[in-house]
């Protein structure tokens, strides 16, 4: 039995938690996810040149610049956490220099085509330098592209020419000239894909031209009465939201890559955002779009809320991955900026408790704009990115831990957590808040406070830079995602964990493999699971090939246990070999026949997904 002083101490702790930790409303911190201003892009790595993870001491790191809430403070827990989960030392002395860049092979010229575009485009719309060619020849696939390029050597094939259309007519001229002169066109948006979709086929003998759409970035029309906007496809998410917000609106589409990825890319990959619960996935947001193809423009003349007019041609827009043509503009739903936004967080004793909670919350219809459940490894990863606490916050942290681990009996190596964003009218948010937090107690969940919820959401936009930090130490990592029925969630997770352990033994990996995962989106019938996996390739022969073998085996395990091939990253080239497992021969033939119909001369020959010629 507890003594009186202990009871008093626990009571004091509970009061502190209620006052300082358990609040679920929005706090006083500035509600900013990322810097909305433009910046200079890294040529090959992720993000902006002013932002990177770097050592600020022998055992601590910081994020440079001021672009993200994650930046500007020392992180003393990050390196110890990484060393613990990987089992290898990470020190400033272990940084690996990038390889010296080799000169690119001479570009393959097509003089009649180049003369044709010279008559249509300005000189500032055409680029042939090695730097421009290389930047446009890859996406952000971590190991097969970025690690290979920076630490193993050049890419097998690069584009020969880069063009920057500034209008829909420019695009039509390019497509017509490419058909006339047998040239390969590759649409390019933000270059953020992680599926190998931009990798040039090594055996392509024709001139490959990258069509960079980013100068087509205007809001053509905002129809406030009908809550829709016509927008050029080259606009990136940050530009789009910045311009709409100035007029009082938002699309609500908020992928991790929102600062860099483009509207055309979202459509071409069938993308999903973190707030899809409220605003929908990209196929729910886009009412209509224009696809310029070898046989003309594919579009519906009027964007209406819904129609029943046979098989809608718009189906070939979503997930086309550059195989059919170039997306030039789209009509999107827009929403008034929400009157209220609140954050919250929850902690559960186990991932299983959190999954059961999410399922019940979905069925009760009180799902907020975003709710993401992270497993224990990812939870501890997020904690490792915190600064050293001040004296007062140190006391609060110790009180939290005492209450959680001693009083409530949470296991620090098993607990899971949810981050929550609620948006809408004040009444909507109040209703969601009441259901979300009252229901959580039925599953043993406890509030973790608004600040942790806000922080967990904003961290998303800064952590992509961590990959490039780890690459310097031969540590290779990548993300992969799947959609899974509710009944298969634990089967898929367990199969991935088991297969990764087996692969670590098979390949004698020099580090412990890292695996973290989170449930990022929920649906009536299931969820999206987003995995992060990595290990050290130091000392391995052809570490990039071994990584690809390991990752492929994990995808096989996902498919064998009821998961999908992708939820929102797309197929590209790294997943195409799995297509016969998920589509019938007739389905694949339909895709290929559609390709031949829309692109009879195979101008769009990037060969993603089922399109192999």
Q: Tens of pLDDT along 554-612? A: 999 999 999 999 999 999 999 999 999 999 999 999 999 999 999 999 999 999 999 98
Higher pLDDT, 14 or 426: 426
CA distance 162 to 172: 16
CA distance 461 to 464: 7
Same domain assignment for residues 70 and 90: yes
Residue 591 lies in a domain: no
Same domain assignment for residues 445 and 491: no
Q: Which helix (H) or strand (E) holds 598?
A: helix 585-598
CA distance 573 to 589: 18
pLDDT band at 23 (very low <50, low <70, confident <90, very high): very low
pTM of the entire predicted model: 0.94
Q: Using the 3D structure, point to which of 523, 538, 564 is the last residue of a domain.
A: 564
Residue 577 lies in a domain: no
* DSSP strand pairing (296-298 vs 286-293): antiparallel
CA distances from 107 to 120, 207, 289, 603, 604 (A): 21, 8, 33, 18, 19
CB 566 within 8 A of CB 484: no
Count of alpha carbons within 13 angstroms of residue 167, beta-carbon side:
6
Count the domains in the chain: 4
Q: pLDDT digits over 171-182, tens only?
A: 999 999 999 999
pLDDT of residue 11: 44
Tokens of 421: 């964003």
147, 279, 457, 530: which is the annotated catalytic residue? 530
Report angle CA 464, 470, 471 to the nearest 5 degrees. Answer: 100
Closest CA to 478 of 520, 521, 530, 522: 530
Average pLDDT, the chain: 93
Residue 42 lies in a domain: no
Average pLDDT over residues 150-168: 95
CA distance 191 to 262: 9
Same domain assignment for residues 201 and 320: yes
Average pLDDT over residues 88-105: 93
Same domain assignment for residues 497 and 555: yes
Range of the domain at 518: 467-564
CA distances from 435 to 343, 365, 523, 526 (A): 14, 9, 18, 20
pLDDT of residue 28: 40
pLDDT of residue 378: 97
pLDDT of residue 298: 95
**What's the helix, strand, coil split of the chain in %, to 5?**
40, 20, 45
Residue 250 lies in a domain: yes
Residue 364 lies in a domain: yes
Same domain assignment for residues 417 and 285: no
Same domain assignment for residues 123 and 172: yes
Q: pLDDT digits over 144-157, tens only?
A: 999 999 998 889 89
List beta partners, residue 532: 479, 516
Residue 603 lies in a domain: no
Tokens of 398: 């110790």
Same domain assignment for residues 170 and 305: yes
Q: For residues 348-372, b (16+ Cβ closer than 10 Å) or e, as one string?
A: bbbbebbbbbbbebbeeebbbbbbb
Residue 112 lies in a domain: yes
Closest CA to 558 of 512, 489, 509, 611: 489
pLDDT of residue 482: 98
pLDDT of residue 26: 44
Same domain assignment for residues 391 and 415: yes
Residue 6 confidence (pLDDT) above 70: no
Average pLDDT over residues 237-247: 98
Same domain assignment for residues 407 and 421: yes
CA distance 410 to 499: 28
Identify whether 530 is a catalytic site residue: yes
CATH for 270: 3.30.465.10
């Amino acid at each position: 039995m507890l003594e009186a002083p202990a009871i008093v101490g626990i009571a004091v702790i509970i009061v502190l938690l209620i006052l300082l930790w358990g609040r679920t409303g929005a706090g006083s911190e500035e509600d900013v996810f990322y810097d909305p201003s433009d910046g200079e892009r890294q040529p090959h790595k992720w993000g902006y040149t002013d932002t990177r993870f770097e050592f600020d001491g022998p055992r601590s790191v910081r994020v440079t610049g001021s672009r993200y809430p994650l930046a500007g403070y020392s992180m003393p827990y990050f390196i110890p956490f990484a060393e613990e989960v990987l089992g290898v030392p990470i020190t400033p002395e272990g940084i690996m220099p990038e390889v010296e860049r080799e000169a690119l092979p001479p570009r393959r010229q097509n003089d009649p085509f180049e003369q044709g575009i010279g008559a249509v485009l300005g000189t500032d719309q055409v680029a042939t330098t090695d730097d421009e060619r290389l930047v446009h020849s890859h996406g952000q696939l971590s190991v097969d592209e970025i690690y290979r390029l920076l630490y193993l050597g050049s890419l097998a094939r690069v584009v020969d020419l880069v063009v920057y259309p500034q209008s829909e007519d420019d695009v039509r001229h390019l497509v017509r000239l490419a058909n006339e002169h047998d040239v390969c066109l590759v649409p390019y948006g933000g270059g953020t894909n992680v599926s190998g979709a931009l990798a040039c086929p090594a055996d392509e003998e024709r001139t490959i031209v990258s069509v960079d759409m980013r100068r087509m970035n205007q809001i053509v029309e905002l129809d406030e009465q009908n809550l829709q906007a016509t927008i050029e496809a080259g606009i990136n998410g940050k530009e789009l939201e910045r311009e709409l917000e100035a007029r009082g609106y938002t699309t609500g589409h908020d992928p991790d890559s929102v600062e860099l990825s483009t509207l055309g890319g979202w459509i071409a990959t069938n993308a999903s955002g973190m707030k899809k619960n409220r605003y929908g996935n990209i196929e729910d947001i886009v009412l209509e779009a224009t696809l310029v193809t070898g046989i003309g423009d594919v579009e519906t003349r009027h964007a209406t809320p819904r129609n029943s007019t046979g098989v809608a041609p718009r189906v070939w827009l979503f997930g086309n991955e550059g195989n059919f043509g170039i997306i030039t503009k789209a009509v999107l739903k827009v929403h008034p900026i929400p009157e209220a936004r609140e954050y919250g967080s929850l902690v559960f004793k186990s991932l299983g408790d959190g999954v059961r909670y999410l399922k019940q919350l979905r069925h009760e219809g009180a799902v907020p704009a975003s709710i993401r459940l992270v497993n224990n490894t990812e939870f501890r990863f997020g904690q490792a990115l915190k600064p050293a606490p001040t004296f007062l916050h140190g006391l609060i942290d110790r009180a939290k831990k005492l209450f959680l681990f001693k009083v409530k009996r949470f296991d620090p190596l098993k607990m899971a957590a949810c981050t929550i964003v609620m948006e809408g009218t004040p009444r909507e948010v109040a209703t969601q808040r009441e259901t979300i937090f009252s229901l959580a107690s039925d599953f043993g969940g406890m509030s973790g406070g608004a600040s942790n919820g806000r922080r967990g959401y904003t961290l998303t936009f800064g952590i992509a830079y961590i990959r490039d930090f780890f690459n310097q130490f031969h540590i290779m990592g990548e993300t992969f995602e799947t959609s899974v029925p509710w009944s298969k969630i634990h089967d898929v997770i367990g199969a991935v964990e088991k297969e990764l352990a087996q692969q670590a033994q098979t390949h004698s990996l020099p580090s412990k493999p890292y695996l973290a995962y989170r449930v990022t989106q929920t649906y009536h019938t299931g969820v999206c699971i987003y995995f992060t996996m990595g290990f050290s390739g130091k000392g391995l022969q052809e570490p990039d090939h071994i990584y690809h073998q390991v990752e492929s085996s994990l995808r096989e395990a996902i498919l064998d246990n009821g998961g999908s091939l992708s939820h929102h990253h797309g197929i590209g080239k790294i997943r195409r070999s799995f297509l016969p497992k998920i589509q019938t021969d007739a389905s694949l033939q339909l895709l290929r026949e559609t390709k031949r119909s829309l692109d009879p001369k195979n101008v769009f020959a990037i060969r993603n997904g089922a399109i192999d010629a």
